[in-house]
A and B are shown apart, each in its own frame.
Chain A
């Protein structure tokens, strides 16, 4: 049990962080905060992946004379890609939020949904 706790502590904290981020995305109303939550969620995945690659007593994977043990470079490569994908998503998301804000006057999800419902009632959507 102790072995499990210490051996997996890194991962468990990553899990808790993931859940916090996910909670923000799903539960929060403000669109900007949702995007922040998404970013938190993704950053925790990065911690998870990099933890997979760590070798106890290893060095960064830049080959130097005299160093025998290195950490695994593959997760690093994957996460480099994932970080860039994450920021690209954030940028697109924020552009959408800015346009939504200009169009609806609000970035709160319930306000926007309400405005949409009202608009649909006017144009006669819903009842056949």
Chain B
């Protein structure tokens, strides 16, 4: 049923010309996907999909829509070539699945080769019960470093493309009187949001959570502040130029933890070099790199949001 809903949403998004509705449907699609992930035991992924997919992507799309226009122009296009491409790809995919292990099979190669080792030794070797965090931050920590760099690169790209400064004064929405209720509500909520973000950051070792989710939630708090209290206030809290530097700092924190290992004679990113007891070292290393991740994610998402919201709408 969830899957059928997803299908319905996808097809609706395809047909509609009101892009605002399309973006909303995309947000719903992400949320449904997150629910689906919960059903499939992927709690960390559900968390991230909800925060990043439904949260950040939707906000960015809406911010872009404000600048480029809400409606799609009607266009008679020839659907033949796209249909051929899509059908060929779909056929290849379905063909590929015909020999695949059945869904949920506990004896599939994927479940019997590397994964059992993560599950059985992970907590012992890294000190964390959340195996996903253990794999993400330690066993496959290099991938996560790359991922953090991807976030930084996106921030860099947006900075290069959209810049940060606005040629004319940014409209300050927050000072209107009829916004008073929102302002008070937001002022009450924001501290809890930020606190929750910190909780997610540090609790990710034991439950769902971690640097990415925490960074997004923290940024969400700041976005709420900006939406309700106005640009001028927010930019007093965090200046534009600071954000890319914070993003850079996050990557460097992550990278330097690895360098410490290297300088201690161990392979890059081997956290057991960080403390006398290897498990202790693993735990410390994971904590530090997750901090780096959280810092970069928070600052880059805020930066991207700033860049979009500061852009003047062309007359």
Give yes or no for direct A-B contact (beta carbon below 8 Å). Answer: yes
Interface residues of B (CB under 8 A from A): 3-4, 6-7, 10-11, 13-14, 19, 22-23, 26, 29-30, 33, 36-37, 40-45, 48-49, 52-53, 56-57, 60-61, 63-65, 67-69, 72-73, 75, 77, 79, 81-83, 85-87, 89-90, 93-94, 97-98, 100, 102-106, 108, 110-111, 114-115, 118-119, 122-123, 129-132, 135-136, 140, 143-144, 146-147, 150-151, 153-154, 157-158, 161-162, 206-208, 212, 297, 304, 307-308, 311, 314
Closest beta carbon of chain B to A5's beta carbon, Å? 11
Given known pairs A58-B41, A61-B132, A87-B53, the reply for A99 and B161 (CB within 8 Å) is yes
Contact with B along A1-26 (1 / 0, CB 8 A): 00110011111110111111111101
B304 CB contacts on chain A under 8 angstroms: 91
Would B14 and A23 count as touching, CB distance under 8 A? yes
B119 CB contacts on chain A under 8 angstroms: 61, 63, 70, 73
Would A62 and B130 count as touching, CB distance under 8 A? yes
Would A11 and B150 count as touching, CB distance under 8 A? no
Contact with B along A37-78 (1 / 0, CB 8 A): 101100100110011111111111111100001111111110
Contact with B along A67-108 (1 / 0, CB 8 A): 001111111110111011111111110111111011000111
Interface residues of A (CB under 8 A from B): 3-4, 7-13, 15-24, 26-33, 35-37, 39-40, 43, 46-47, 50-64, 69-77, 79-81, 83-92, 94-99, 101-102, 106-108, 110-111
- Among B7, B14, B114, B147, residue most surrounded by chain A Cβ atoms (within 10 Å): B14
Question: Could you pull out 25 A-B pairs where Cβ atoms are within 8 angstroms?
Answer: A8-B97, A10-B3, A13-B4, A21-B10, A23-B82, A26-B81, A27-B83, A32-B64, A40-B29, A55-B105, A62-B208, A63-B122, A63-B129, A70-B131, A73-B115, A73-B118, A76-B45, A85-B147, A87-B57, A91-B158, A92-B157, A98-B67, A98-B68, A102-B67, A107-B68
Q: A56-B103, A79-B45, A95-B157 are in contact. List 14 more A-B contacts (CB 8 A).
A: A12-B97, A13-B6, A29-B75, A39-B26, A51-B40, A62-B131, A69-B106, A70-B41, A73-B132, A75-B110, A76-B42, A90-B57, A92-B157, A98-B162
Report the bound CA distance from A102 to B82 in whole Å.
Answer: 28
Residue of A nearest to B87 (CB): A19
A86 CB contacts on chain B under 8 angstroms: 53, 57
Report the bound CA distance from A82 to B160 in whole Å.
Answer: 24
